[in-house]
Amino acid sequence: ADNLTIADTGHCGITIRSGDDDVGTIFFSDATSGTDEYVGYVQYDHSGNFMKWQTNGAERMRIDSSGNVGIGTTSPTSFSSEADNLVISGSGHTGITIDATSSTNSAIYFADGTSGNEQYRGYIYYEHSNDLFRIATAATERMVIDSSGNVGIGATPLSVQSGYVNLQL
């Protein structure tokens, strides 16, 4: 990929300057005519102050002027204002996969700071090595589901069998 090289011994970069109501774009093409000339691109829209990514002729991701990210949607702010920082939208089944090895863990943390237990005030945590699912609030584990489906709430194991709840005290 040496068709265009920009080099310096210090900081280096490229500027794409367009009008304040226009766009700046880097296109990815596999043809010399038609829509295949711009089948993929990265574009900054100055009138709306957002950046978008297109693959296979369709917009796939957008970062709006507030920093909200939409994957599969052009307007992440059209969803709940309490959860529009990252919106993943699809026309069929839609989801998020967190992939880890069988000897590691996967987690989603809910933080209200950057030190101590402020980093994990709430969490959803999966231990792959023993297939254990943990949920916490106030930086304290509140619920565990083990690989057999047994549920522990607080310090009390709970199991459901044949429609009855058995509480072991």
pLDDT for 7: 93
Query: CA-to-CA distance for 133 and 98, rounded, in angstroms?
Result: 14
Among 10-19, 32-41, 67-76, 158-167, which stretch is predicted with the lowest mean pLDDT? 158-167
- Supply the Cα-derived Rg of the chain in whole angstroms: 24
Evaluate the CA torsion angle 67, 72, 77, 83 in order and state its sign: negative
Read off the pLDDT band of 160 (50, 70, 90).
Answer: low
Instruction: List the end-to-end C-alpha distance of the chain, in Å, as a whole number.
Output: 67
Give the model confidence (pLDDT) of 19-69 as tens digits: 999 999 999 999 999 989 999 999 999 999 999 999 999 999 999 999 999
CB 137 within 8 A of CB 143: no
